[in-house]
Chains A and B, each alone.
Chain A
Amino acid sequence: MRISVEQRLRRPRWLTVAVPVGSIVFAFLVAAVVLLATGHNPLPTYRELFDAAFLQNQSIDQTLIVATPLAFMGLAAAAAFRMKLYNIGAEGQMYLGAITGSAAGLYFGGRGGPAPFPIAAMVVAGMLGGAAWALIPGILRAFFKTNEILTSLLLNYVAGLLLTYLIFESESYWRQTKGFNASVFPTGKPLPHNAVWPGWTLHIQGGLTVPLGAFFAVLAAVVLWVLYKRTRFGFEAQVLGDSPRAARYAGVRMRRKILAVMAVSGAIAGLGGASQVGDFSHALDGDPNGLQKIGYGYTGIVVAALGRYNPFAVVLIAFLLGGLENAGNTLQGPSFPAGLVGAIQGIILFSALGGEILTHHRFRITRKTKRVAAAAPEAVA
């Protein structure tokens, strides 16, 4: 008997329903086995997970804190991956966006003026910072054919060290130097009030604040969708991704496109960085035990893949994964090891991604053994 995997020529409609459903159900079943094996009752655990993620008081408020950066990171990855440009550097581009964004906030926020101006400056500066960082692997790829996966990944570490350097190892513009507390432990200089991004507070679930960044993320998704679906630019980028030779033949300028797509991807990640500062930390977070420990940029790649690079799906998946992450911290404790939380999250993600293969491929089981057996007597004779 042999099992072979073949590409599906036709995708039956029921599959698009059955596969995601099956994957999730499968994930919860497997996770249930793990839970039972470690002495936990799966049903109350799952209930607690959903409660913490979406249902209990202020859960969505907390979920949005994770979902917002994940949406930016997912969109950044999707924008580049769509053209088969594997920008793994959203993490570092986010740091750069945080650095340039907070610089703009500190500079313009301190000098009065109309309130929206410092925030607009942060948005622009964040996008520019992220785009500039993304253009490094972009240029290397476009002009020297350097593999962008490696360069963009390694630049994440450089960006992380730069972030730490600015707060921990230098008396930079970003570092708070006034006061004794600041000398005990290094912190970023707090943003002036008019540079702090406002949230939209809803009086449901015991208070729910939708950060300004979440709106920007949705806006970025719309822009990305229009860019790829309704413009020549997006069409060319996709053709280039699918068949570089065909695109060349049609006169698409390869280098320009690579640079442009990397810049768009980096700009979205950089905007995510500016949102981290403006929406959440209100100061540049250089602590390696802070923003850098979480790794939104890497989770963003998973978000992009699960959303199949569709901008709207990416935003939705970011929200769901944000809930999962948020619930993880609620679940863990003395009777529920953090490693088990990670295992359950991993099983869900793995199943959801693994299920994808079934929509594009099918497994065929061929019974080779019978034919061999039938042929055998002849050989003997």
Chain B
Amino acid sequence: MKRRKLALGTLLLVIAALTLVFASASSGSPKASTPYKVAFIYVGPHNDGGWSQAHENGRLYVQKMLGSKVQTTYKENIAVGSQFNQTVASLAAQGYQMIFATSYGYITPQIAAKYPNIKFEQATGTLVAKNVSEYFGRAEDTIFLSGMAAGYASKTGQIGDVLAFPIPEVVRHANAFALGAQYAHPGATVRVVWTHSWFAPAAEKKAAQSLVSAGVDVLGQNVDSPATGQYAESIGIPWVGYDSDSSKFAPKSWLTASVYNWGPYYLKRIEEAMAGTWKPGFYYGSINDGFTKLAPFGPGVTAADKAKILAVEKKIENGTFYEFTGPLYDQSGKLRVAKGVKMQVLKGGTNSLYGINWFVKGVIGSPKG
């Protein structure tokens, strides 16, 4: 007993001593200029080859454009909840003035109220408050286009989609993917598997394997890593990515992907914050302002198919085409959106883009996970 106490006491003493040594070796360098400090929180690794990497590219863009006027950092692999709150506390202590939380569930009304002087921006959510903005983009448009590429590439009309969580964002994207595939390949089905994680390469690969063994001959995804693509490459079937241009992970299988260009939005918001004109709001970017776009096509897309996809892209740009226009039927064949009715972003409950909880006809799997 005594020895243990002694040992513990010593351990504490050593730590205290080390602390003192480092405290005295303090490096209080005076700050020459005070750059505006902005932090980005990532749900996965900054180089995940997908979602977080797209945000990281946005951060690097801002740093490049504003140079020494800003100081940016990121925190990766941050869990929702107490770990996020802890990270915000440490960023606040270091004088960070603006925080981009790049996944839903991070920012709570409590944390926003606790740090009234920090400007929070959260991707994909709807929580707008005095110091909280929400931002995202119409990926459904570009996902529809990438779904077309999948539809053209499929011989059997059976396509697979690896999905993260049974939430409206993912359901909406999977629906857009299926609608695009069916547009290109009438009667095509999209079989889905849930991984219950944004970034889980092992689970994503397993999901892709199970889809292929169920008979699909093209893979798509709404998860953050390129594991699905790597698997597709290994067995030689086409793949549609998501978030980032990940063609280098599967050069032969790569068809295209809906990608985000977060940089210009980040630049605009940070400049506004620095100028004092920042206002909270809900921003929904699109193909027109360059927020979302289609990644370069891979070798599996023929020139003829490319032309057809780009023709629809043109129509989306000039507003003559919108994939979520009725009639839209759900999996059971029930009419959900009447002919000619366009689904809205926030209004319409479960018939809105942000509230949709049902799969369109031709999707195989449950939208409840």
Contacts and interface: CB of A to CB of B under 8 A. Distances in A.
Interface of A: 11, 13, 16-17, 19-21, 24-25, 28, 43-44, 46-47, 50, 52, 54-59, 61-62, 65-66, 164-165, 168-170, 180-181, 183-187, 276, 280-282, 285, 287-291, 293-294, 308, 310, 313, 316, 320, 326, 329-330, 332-334, 338, 359
Given A333-B73, A333-B75, A289 B25 contact: no
Given A44-B27, A326-B86, A332-B76, A285 B81 contact: yes
A289 B15 contact: no
B307 interface: no
Given A20-B14, A287-B81, A332-B76, 18 more contacts: A16-B10, A20-B7, A46-B22, A55-B19, A55-B23, A58-B93, A164-B196, A168-B196, A180-B126, A184-B169, A185-B104, A185-B169, A280-B81, A289-B198, A310-B4, A329-B83, A329-B90, A334-B72
Contacts of B26: 47
A289 B354 contact: no
A289 B76 CA distance: 12
B176 to A, nearest CB: 17
A338 B355 contact: no
A184 B167 contact: yes
23 contacts: A13-B6, A16-B4, A16-B10, A20-B7, A50-B18, A52-B90, A58-B89, A65-B86, A183-B168, A185-B104, A185-B125, A280-B82, A281-B82, A287-B80, A287-B81, A289-B198, A290-B105, A291-B81, A293-B83, A313-B4, A320-B15, A329-B86, A338-B45
A187 B124 CA distance: 15
Interface residues of B, number: 63
B18 A28 contact: yes
Contacts of B66: none
A47 B74 contact: no
A20 B357 CA distance: 56
B350 interface: yes
A25 B166 contact: no
A338 B48 CA distance: 13
Contacts of B354: 180, 183-184
A291 B77 contact: no
A222 to B, nearest CB: 16
A258 to B, nearest CB: 26
Nearest to A281: B81
B79 interface: yes
A21 B126 contact: no
Contacts, number: 164
A348 to B, nearest CB: 11
Contacts of A181: 125-127
Contacts of A47: 22-23, 25-27
A16 B7 CA distance: 5
A333 B38 CA distance: 12
Q: 6 closest A-B pairs (Cβ-Cβ)?
A: A47-B22, A169-B369, A293-B79, A16-B3, A290-B80, A290-B81
B11 to A, nearest CB: 4
A186 B164 CA distance: 13
A298 to B, nearest CB: 14
A224 to B, nearest CB: 15
Contacts of B75: 329, 332-333
B196 A288 contact: yes
Contacts of A282: 110
Q: Which residue, A25, A43, A334, has most C-beta atoms of chain B within 10 A?
A: A334
Contact of B73 (A168, A184, A334): A334
Contacts of A52: 90
Nearest to B7: A16
A169 B166 contact: yes
Contact of B11 (A21, A66, A289): A21
A125 B103 CA distance: 32
B368 interface: yes
Given A17-B6, A185-B105, A180 B355 contact: yes
Interface string B135-170: 000000000000000000000000000000111110
Contact of A329 (B3, B6, B19, B78): B78
B79 A183 contact: no
B46 to A, nearest CB: 8
B263 to A, nearest CB: 16
Given A61-B89, A168-B165, A19 B22 contact: no
B325 to A, nearest CB: 22
Contacts of A46: 18, 22
A21 B86 CA distance: 30
B349 A183 contact: yes
Nearest to B1: A310
A65 B191 CA distance: 42
A66 B80 contact: no
A56 B23 contact: no
Contacts of A55: 19, 23
Contacts of B6: 13, 16-17
B43 interface: yes
A65 B85 contact: yes
Q: Which residue, B83, B166, B349, has most C-beta atoms of chain A within 10 A?
A: B83
Interface in B6-44: 6-8, 10-12, 14-15, 18-19, 22-23, 25-27, 43
Contacts of A294: 79, 82-83
A43 B25 contact: yes
Contacts of B76: 332, 338
A75 B62 CA distance: 47
B18 A184 contact: no
A184 B355 contact: yes
Contacts of A24: 11, 14-15, 18
Contacts of B202: none
Nearest to B43: A289
Nearest to A287: B80
Contacts of B94: 330
Q: Which residue, A62, A164, A294, has most C-beta atoms of chain B within 10 A?
A: A62
Given A289-B198, A334-B74, A338-B76, A66 B86 contact: yes
Contacts of B18: 24, 28, 46, 50
A115 to B, nearest CB: 20
Nearest to A61: B89
A28 B167 CA distance: 45
B65 interface: no
A250 B360 CA distance: 69
B83 A184 contact: no
A308 B8 CA distance: 11
